[in-house]
Amino acid sequence: MKKRIGLAAIAMVSIGGALVANYTRAQTQELTLCWAAWDPANALVELSKDFTAKSGIKMKFEFVPWTNYAERMLNELNSKGKLCDVMIGDSQWIGTSATEGHYVKLNDFFAKSKINMSDFMPAAVNAYSTWPKGSTNYYSLPAMGDAVAWTYRKDWFARADLKAAFKAQYKYDLLPPTTYKQLRDIATFFQGRMIDKKKVYGAAIYTERGSEGITMGATSALYAWGMQYDNPKKPYDLEGFTNSKNAVAGLEFYKSLYKCCTPPGHSNAYMTEDLDAYKSGQVAMQMNFIAFFPGIAKDPDVGGSKTGFFVNPIGTTKGATLGGQGMSVVSYSNKQEAALQYLQWFAQPSVQKRWWDVGGFSVHNSVVKDKGFLTSKPYAKVFADSLAIVKDFWQEPTYAQLLIAMQKRLHEYVVADKGTAKEALDGLVKDWTEVFKEDGKIK
């Protein structure tokens, strides 16, 4: 479970012109970059060889499995540890890390380095870099764009016998769904069907309770039904927004998808479990973060022409759950000058282009707006379309308490079958109101 970082305020480190060094100057230093252990991190290791070659600064990497990533990294920050010089931290951490001084504020550095936040996708800047939200206070460089989207068995969808059977039953063609209703139809069609003498199932979705899984999954539906966290005109005014009729409808739909169309034993599933279900040929579709799509595209069993990709479907509107992270300089590092050089190098358009090429997910406009981007990889259009409609969970310093409450309410309703969707969201409004009152955000 993600822990809230301690409340002691740490004086922010100011960034002067002396810190903006020429990164081509040879150094004898070694930087440690901390992130999660997954394919994009391996791609960053390869990419960073260019930084070492140009700067003389050696790179060391501390990658932590996703199951321990948040707890390990937040404990490191909370203890004012010096392990990490550069940290690629989750978007939810930005509020706490900014207010408690764990991250170096980057405004002066950006100005002196001529790094313009307007060169990056607006949704990424807002989610990964700024605190408070809507301000121009920057604590991270957008590093890894991501969102929850879907993969599907393109080879199954193309089979003449399955296409004919689906159209006979549902009166429309078997194609990647654009609406959640279509997605449920397709998932229902595949649920329990025999394909190549093997029983398969409809869809692998997020249901995990222990960290953030079911929240990341259910919000994919909640956003697609237009759920808002609070009143846009009155922050932290939750009633009628968190628990709106549309939010209730989205949550009801997500439960129906879980009940009708998931594989056996899929009651505590997150990224790894969905990947396993899909790669092993159990399901026709899976939701997952786009960051995993390069690995799926290359998978010997389901990759290549066997897999297709689609953006989160529409409920009543467009919406997708944000993933991804920003790159920050840890304020407790005694190698901040070299760490800032790394950020300056990483922000270059040429490096951002290579980042996309080697398997990272750049949100730099020079990359995503290039005329060849949408056809550069089979999931490129899904990535661009998803980042245009993303929403994110609370990034408040109290996000951990807010997340724990949502995990509990959603899991009890969707998986444990307790109460109604309205009761679950009404309870969540009560939980969150208490958190915000304790935090002094509402009276």
3-state secondary structure string across the chain: CCCCCCCCCCCCCCCCHHHCCCCCCCCCCEEEEEEECCHHHHHHHHHHHHHHHHHCCEEEEEEECHHHHHHHHHHHHHCCCCCCCEEEEEHHHHHHHHHCCCECCCHHHHHHHCCCHHHECHHHHHHHCECCCCCCCECCEEEEEEEEEEEEEHHHHCCHHHHHHHHHHHCCCCCCCCEHHHHHHHHHHHCCCEECCEECEEEECCCCCCCCHHHHHHHHHHHHCCCCCCECCECCCCCCCCCCHHHHHHHHHHHHHHHHHCCCCCCCCCHHHHHHHHHCCCEEEEEEEHHHHHHHHHCCCCCHHHEEEECCCECCCCCEEEEEEEEEEECCCCCHHHHHHHHHHHCCHHHHHHHHHHCCCCCEHHHHCCCCHHHCCCCHHHHHHHHCCEECCCCCCCHHHHHHHHHHHHHHHHCCCCCCHHHHHHHHHHHHHHHHHHCCCCC
Average pLDDT over residues 371-376: 97
For the segment 382-441, what is each residue's pLDDT rounded down to a tens digit? 999 999 999 999 999 999 999 999 999 999 999 999 999 999 999 999 999 999 999 999
Report how far residue 362's alpha carbon sits from residue 86's, in angstroms, rounded to the nearest whole number.
Answer: 18
Q: Residue 123's pLDDT is what?
A: 94
Tally of CB atoms within 10 A around 419: 13
Place of tokens 């005014």: 237
Report how far residue 117's alpha carbon sits from residue 8's, in angstroms, rounded to the nearest whole number.
Answer: 29
Q: Please name which of 356, 353, 351 lies closest in space to residue 377, comparing C-alpha atoms.
A: 356
Hey, where are the domains in the chain?
17-146+323-391, 148-321
Q: Residue 293's pLDDT is what?
A: 97
State the pLDDT confidence band at 67, using cuts at 50, 70 and 90.
confident
Q: Residue 28's pLDDT is what?
A: 61
The pLDDT > 90 percentage for the chain reads 93
Q: Residue 5's pLDDT is what?
A: 33
Report how far residue 262's alpha carbon sits from residue 267's, in angstroms, rounded to the nearest whole number.
Answer: 9
The CATH number that domain 148-321 falls under is: 3.40.190.10
CATH topology of 17-146+323-391 equal to that of 148-321? yes
Q: Residue 13's pLDDT is what?
A: 32
For the segment 81-126, what is each residue's pLDDT rounded down to a tens digit? 999 999 999 999 999 999 999 999 999 999 999 999 999 999 999 9
Least confident range of 11-20, 157-166, 178-187, 341-350: 11-20
CATH 3.40.190.10 at 17-146+323-391, yes or no: yes
Flag whether pLDDT at 213 surpasses 50: yes
